[in-house]
Amino acid sequence: MSIYSDILKMKIRGADNIALTCLKHLSKYEDKKCFENECKKLEKLRPTEVVLHNVIKKLNAGCSVQEMTDKIHNNRKLIECHGRKLVKGKNVMTHCHSTETMTVIKHSKSVYATITEPRNQGIITVRYLRNFTKTKLIIDSACGFYMDDVDMIVIGSDSLRKEGIVNKIGSIPLCITAKTFGKEVYIAANTLKFDNREKFSIEFRLPNEIHESIKNVEILNPAFDIIPWKFVNAVITENGIINPKKILQELKR
């Protein structure tokens, strides 16, 4: 299997893990032209996830592969440090599988994890979390049924943009439900997820991830949605827990 198919088929997934894998791959390219071509090809694979784009920008500005790799790992540790106090003794609900979120919510009292249709990344989440905290798996549409039982939502992000927080499809209904029930919403995301790209698109995945084709039916499969900032209390970053107003000052688009 090649790096391309591993990323496309989501054997390698999650914004940070994709960037880490690509960093290792890019370290083999010494010729500038080949390096640039490879960067372009890799960026197109999961175009919504901005970390790889930002990492490539840093490499072009003189940072080394090792520095960027260490930065991503260190960011995770710092996010864990800041976030663990927030979730201590709390019941949390999460969506999808975000490595940055895992470092935080493994310190909570319990976690309700949505299965996260259509790719069921919630299974990765519960398999990991069960080693650290009381872990429950629910279907996406049960988030309202259990919202009274949790204190807060903690989810990850693929990119933080002026118009909102881009995260796994289903994040908008989860956050709206949380707000309706008076629960706080936190995003665990390092600052390499700040997305100031002019060209931005939501990835649409193959319809057969949802269902085999049905005659006269269009099957729509967007991978991400964009949570408006008004639904979010703060972002847990490597620099601390930061409110949306401050984050928005850093986002141009």
Binding site for ligand RI2 (CB under 6 A): 13-17, 96, 98-100, 121, 156-158, 167-168, 223
Q: Which is nearer to ligand RI2, 76 or 183 (CB)?
A: 76
Cα separation, 193 vs 9, whole angstroms:
22
- Structure token digits, residue 18: 């994709």
Answer for the pair 57, 80: CB distance below 8 angstroms, yes or no. Answer: no
- Please choose, from the candidates 66, 72, 106, 108, the residue with its C-alpha nearest in 3D space to the C-alpha of residue 87: 108
Helices (H), 106-227: 122-129, 143-146, 171-180
Q: Which is nearer to ligand RI2, 35 or 43 (CB)?
A: 43
CB of 169 to ligand RI2, least distance (A): 8
Q: CB of 167 within 8 A of CB of 114?
A: no
Residue (114 or 167) nearer to ligand RI2, CB? 167
CB of 215 to ligand RI2, least distance (A): 29
Least separation in angstroms between CB 48 and ligand RI2: 8
Q: What does the block give as tokens for 12?
A: 């390698």
Report, in Å, the least distance between residue 195 CB and ligand RI2.
13
Q: How far apart are CA 137 and CA 129, in angstroms?
A: 11
| Shortest reach from residue 137's CB to ligand RI2, in Å | 17
Closer to ligand RI2 by Cβ: residue 120 or 182? 120
In the complex, least distance from residue 101 CB atom to ligand RI2, rounded to whole angstroms: 6
Give 14 or 83: the residue with its C-beta nearer to ligand RI2. Answer: 14
Query: 16 or 195, CB closer to ligand RI2?
Result: 16
Specify whether the CB–CB gap between 116 and 97 falls below 8 A: yes
For residue 125, give both structure tokens.
């989440």
The residue (of 147 and 154) whose beta carbon lies closer to ligand RI2 is 154
The answer to whether the beta carbons of residues 74 and 238 sit under 8 Å apart is yes
10 Å Cβ neighbour count for 31? 9
Q: What angle do CA 163, 43, 173 make, to 5 degrees?
A: 35
Q: How far apart are CA 177 and CA 165, in angstroms?
A: 16
Q: Please, which residues bridge with residue 138 across strands? A: 114
Q: How near is the Cβ of 34 to ligand RI2 at its closest, in Å? A: 26
